[in-house]
């Protein structure tokens, strides 16, 4: 996914470890990644933002806490 970014820091895709796969990027900055074989997920995410999609937040929490991710 190509996503927007509100950050001044992050991991550029070239510096991401070999077993980590980016799934969301803004330019060359990784905003989300997962591990090839382990249950590891990283998301640069701001749920406190007032313009966030509340359904996205709800679905993400349900997936995380139901061990579906």
Measure CA 58 to chain center: 15
Q: How many CA atoms lie within 13 A of 12 on its CB side?
A: 4
- Predicted confidence at residue 20, as pLDDT, reads 96
- Predicted confidence at residue 38, as pLDDT, reads 93
pLDDT tens digits for range 13-28: 999 999 999 998 888 8
* Percent with pLDDT over 90 in the chain: 23
* Mean pLDDT of all residues belonging to the chain: 80
pLDDT band at 33 (very low <50, low <70, confident <90, very high): very high
Closest Cα to residue 45, out of 14, 13, 10, 16? 10
State pTM to two decimals: 0.67
Q: Which DSSP string do the residues of 14-58 spell out, in sequence order?
A: GGS-TTEEEEEEETTEEEEEEESSSS-EEE---TT-TTS-HHHHH
């Amino acid at each position: 996914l190509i996503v927007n970014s509100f950050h001044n820091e992050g991991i550029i895709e070239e510096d991401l470890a070999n077993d980590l796969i980016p799934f969301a990027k803004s330019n060359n900055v990784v905003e989300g990644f997962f591990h090839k074989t382990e249950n590891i997920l990283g998301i640069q995410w701001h749920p406190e933002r007032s313009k966030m999609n509340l359904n996205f937040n709800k679905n993400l929490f349900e997936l995380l806490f139901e061990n579906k991710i």
